[in-house]
Amino acid sequence: MKLSKISLLFTAFAAVATLLAAPAHADNLPDFRTLVKQNQAAVVNISTTQAQPAQGQGFGFDLPENHPFNEFFRRFGEPNMPRQRPAQSLGSGFIISDNGTVLTNAHVVKDADEIIVRLSNQRELTAQLIGLDERSDVAVLKIEASDLPTLTLGDSDKLEVGEWVLAIGSPFGLDFTATQGIVSALGRSLPSDSYVPFIQTDVAVNPGNSGGPLMNTSGEVVGINSQIYSRSGGYQGVSFAIPINTAMQVARQIESKGYVSRGWLGVSIQNVTQDLARSFGLDRPRGALVANVLDGSPAEKAGIEPGDIILEFNEQSVTSSASLPPIVGETPVGSKVPVLILRDGKRKTLKAKIEELKEQDQQVASNASGGDQSSGGLGANVRDLTDDEREALGIDRGGVVIVGIDRDSPAAQAGIRTGDVIRRVGRENIGSAKELRKVVDGLPKGKPISVLVQRGENPLFVAVTLPD
């Protein structure tokens, strides 16, 4: 009897403890209600219109200048003539100054003939585009108003993976929609935006959220929602935001001088794989592997060479090739910065004077074909490049082109393809098919060796391992 009473008391105590513990856990979660109430008034809806020609057939021919029908058509219009129809787009933005400065995405307002900003009180104002930068997808707008609510800007460099974040925007035109999630990753590089170290989140972001703020639990803006990864066009758990530190650096340049200047080093880089790390004497994959150095570039003047691995740039660690472009881009033009490289297994610090990034014309390159000489242990047939092919590829001297490759050869397993140009094996530059055969014959077996190939206009390193 006594034991039964003790059991009942213990069960009751456990139940009470569980009930008391539940609110304590809930209290540790961020109060999104407060964050939304305090900040949604500074978030705006942005709509744009752009005139586009409607489809029409017209007559399909021109009338003579003196034809009497010309006056008739000038007055009443030609049947089926193309007419202008407005194209509309929708996005979000947020106010950063009480006199009407608004931040949003460049793709939201690009090519717009009219930009309308709708405030939280449903007031609509025509916005002036101060400027935009497509590389970072940042745009600055100005509306004529005063005493506007504003958002507080945070420090995106202090973000941590797992941190709670909140987004407010207009997905599908639904104004002031709030969604929450966590920071999934930092410093993401996307193929179209190599100069932005994106914040990856699992916050629900959909079309119309673009340009809206991403906020931390203190109500500070840490990013601008910019892109989603989706196979369907809708939210699938992966979204990307521009760090607010990057966005504000761009915005300040737009406001002060009307355009954005970025640092330029002048190298083509690639990731360091496990095999490439072993071939270069690294304990693990890290850094940015230099595949090519442009003539006359800051990198060439600093003494950087293909095959160097950039480990640090301006005293900032380069963890992968994706982390280098944003660091270089944010480096002030004209500054001289240290570059720590790994060359032949030894660390060396060089000094590079950073120049301004300019749009570069794309080179036209052609794949070579024909010829038949064995490369030895690589398992490929090669031939020397012609002078015309070197000129088209931008190669000063040397290089041999792959004209055939064995299916299971070391070259094929390393990812080398027909049409690739081999420029270097290890530290040896390849000037001819005969030199390639000689170098390959002297390579150690069972150990990864770096091989510099050029595929079209793009140089890249691969790791080749000859079988024992």
Other CB atoms within 10 Å distance of the CB of residue 124: 13
Angstrom distances, CA of residue 61 to CA of 49, 53, 58, 113: 31, 19, 8, 31
Angstrom distances, CA of residue 52 to CA of 47, 60, 128, 282: 16, 20, 21, 55
List all residues 6 or more positions away from 356 whose beta carbon is below 8 Å from its beta carbon: 261, 262, 263, 264, 333
List all residues 6 or more positions away from 59 whose beta carbon is below 8 Å from its beta carbon: 78, 79
Angstrom distances, CA of residue 80 to CA of 63, 75, 86, 403: 16, 15, 18, 55
Quick one: 164 exposed, middle or buried, by C-beta within 10 A (0-12, 13-18, 19+)?
A: middle
Tokens 């000689």 belong to 438
Active site residue ranges: 107, 137, 210
Main-chain dihedrals φ then ψ at residue 392, nearest 5 degrees: -65, -35
Tokens 């280098």 belong to 324
Other CB atoms within 10 Å distance of the CB of residue 91: 26
Tokens 């916050």 belong to 203
SS (H, E, C) 66-135: CCCHHHHHHHHCCCCCCCEEEEEEEEEEEECCCCCEEEECHHHHCCCCEEEEECCCCCEEECEEEEEECC
User: What is the four-CA torsion angle of 326, 332, 333, 335, rounded to 10 degrees?
Assistant: -120
